[in-house]
Amino acid sequence: MKRITSMLLVLSLVAIVFVGCAGKDSNVTEPIKENEEVETSENEPLVDDTVYKLRTSTNLGEVGTTGLALKYFVDQVNERSGGRIEATANYGSELGSQLEQVEMAQLGDLEMVCAAPGTGLGGWVPELAMYEFPFIFDDNEQYRKVLVDTEDEVTKLVSEYGFTAASGQSQGARNILTLKPINTIEDLAGVKMRGPNVVYTDMFDALGAAGTITGWNDIYTSLQTKVIEGCEASPSALYSMNFHEQAKNMTVTNHIIACTYYFFNTEWLESLPDNLKTIVLESAEDAREYHAKLYDEEDAIALQAMIDEGVNVIELSPEEKAKFVEACSGMLDEYRAKGDNWNAFIDVLLAAKN
């Protein structure tokens, strides 16, 4: 009898333990051990579906070649990422000046800014202004090669400030647009000419004009009010901003070839999964090629449109053009004397053009 009672007691205890285990909350998940793979109910690994924002901006107009290439870049990223990256673009002065947009990208309020290296980041790396130096590069083909070959050097110089450079795009050879005709170098004497940075103002001073720095988005009203008497850029850029409505004389000088780079916030770029980072950088390279083709077509169209709208285009004689080149010939030695950083970067650019 005692043996039967003991067996009943044991069976009761086993039943209690079983019922207690079965009564646990089925929604409670056991802790995942370190390095243990998390799987779905279908025994498939979980997929990272994070959506990344890519906010981009340029101080140039939406309908110019730079703006159109930026839109192409944004569209490519959106399409290729399949919604994993939501890319958007701002143009002109929507977000402030070029420098303000660069600062936004550094702070993470933008993920990428399309900016001229010497103007946008010249406050931190002043020698980048050498990309826009008078009469140093021969033509767009050579200049585009330089932009590709020196991209890693630019990233090296700007990485300290949180940027990665990509997609260097030539903005084309620049001409001067003025209120009064400029047929000779003497006609420039004392003319208030706008430039985006000190290289331009030094050039205009060397040419006998009065160089002054003015924001790109302030040029139209500055010409209108005669705060400045002239500006300069490629035909495409001038036409995209309607500057020819205020200044009706363009002298073909081809004094400087300028550029922009896509400056990515490095922290954001490196936060991307490898496949998405590849999509972003490959789309940036495709945008460079798209821009080059577009620029070659659009610059000629813009020039003809300006002529059709009453702009007087002045071609300098070879002898007169030589006077412009000669007036600026001493500038290179002056810039080499600015310091080792300037001298080293000048050597990089000159080596890349050969």
Cα dihedral 91, 308, 204, 211, rounded to 10, equals -60
264 and 111 in contact (C-beta within 8 Å)? yes
Find how far residue 11's CA is from the centre of its chain: 77
Is residue 234 assigned to a domain?
Answer: yes
Give the structural domain span for 346. Answer: 52-352
Name the token pair of 93: 């002065």
- Sequence-distant (6+) residues with CB within 8 A of 85 are 51, 52, 53, 54, 77, 78, 276, 279, 280
Q: For residue 1, what are the CA distances in angstroms to 11, 14, 15, 52, 238?
A: 16, 20, 21, 74, 109
Closest alpha carbon to 288 in 267, 264, 256, 259: 259
Number of domains in the chain: 1
Q: What are the start-end ranges of the E strands in the chain?
A: 52-58, 85-90, 112-115, 163-173, 175-178, 192-195, 210-213, 230-233, 249-252, 257-265, 312-315
Partners of 58 in the beta sheet? 114
pLDDT at 8: 41
Residue 29 domain flag: no
Domain assignment present for 267:
yes
Classify residue 115: in a domain, yes or no: yes
Q: What is the reported pLDDT for 30? A: 41
CATH of the domain at 175: 3.40.190.170
Per-residue pLDDT of the chain (354 residues; tens, 9 = 90+): 444 444 444 444 334 433 444 444 433 334 333 334 444 445 544 457 899 999 999 999 898 899 999 999 999 999 999 999 999 999 998 999 999 999 999 999 999 999 999 999 999 999 999 999 999 999 999 999 999 999 999 999 999 999 999 999 999 999 999 999 999 999 999 999 999 989 999 999 999 999 999 999 899 999 999 999 999 999 988 998 999 999 999 999 999 999 999 999 999 999 999 999 999 999 999 999 999 999 988 889 999 999 999 999 999 999 999 999 999 999 999 999 999 999 999 999 999 998
CA–CA dist 176, 250 (Å, integer): 6
The predicted pLDDT at position 47 comes to: 59
pLDDT at position 93 is 84
Does 30 reside within a domain? no
Look at residue 158 and tell me if it is in a domain. yes
Q: Which of 232, 154, 221 is nearest to 197 (CA)?
A: 232
Residue 77 domain flag: yes
Sign of CA dihedral 20, 26, 27, 32: positive
